[in-house]
Amino acid sequence: MKTSKKALALILVLVVLTGIAAYFHLSTREEVIEGTVQVTVDGHVQTVKLADLAYEPVSGVRVNGKGETISVEGRGILVKDLLASTKIASYSKVTVVSDDSYTADLTAEEVAESGKAYLLLEQPYLRLVVFGDQNSKRSVSNVVQIIVE
């Protein structure tokens, strides 16, 4: 009987700790107005409406974490074109941030390469897709912020 009370008490403590951790995790999520993405340069934030962007048909193949290829079809915008639409011309690195604070970095060379780094429209957010990339960790869904350095 003592063992079952200890086990129950341990389970209760773990449930409470999980709840606390979940609360803090959710409170750190990036928040933006739905249907927008924030572009941050030198601490200055521009909010871009997704509906205002000029999308083009996108198709290709990306690799997932298991090394499997996944066909990608949709409408998107090159990362370099999004940056150009916000009058950003010079940078060395671009960090793409999801709503749960997951990040992926792109070099200026990768952004400049035609057909390489797209932001696909997946309402109400964007998804970063880096074609030809063997690093599946850079497929970022629910993009809410782009930090330009």
pLDDT in tens for each of the 149 residues of the chain?
577 888 777 787 778 777 666 555 545 545 689 999 999 999 999 999 999 999 999 999 888 878 888 899 999 999 999 999 999 989 999 999 999 999 999 999 999 999 999 999 998 999 999 998 877 788 999 999 999 99
Query: What pLDDT is attached to residue 8?
Result: 79
Query: What pLDDT is attached to residue 27?
Result: 52
Say how many Å lie between the first and final Cα of the chain, rounded: 61
How is 78-137 classified by DSSP, letter by letter?
EHHHHHHHTT----SEEEEEETT--EEEEEHHHHHSTTTEEEEEETTEEEEEETT-S-GG
> For residues 77 and 90, what is the distance between their CA atoms, to the nearest angstrom?
18
- Residue from 82, 113, 85 nearest 96 by CA: 82
Query: What pLDDT is attached to residue 30?
Result: 57
Query: What pLDDT is attached to residue 64?
Result: 81
CB–CB of 33/100 below 8 Å?
A: no
Query: What pLDDT is attached to residue 106?
Result: 97
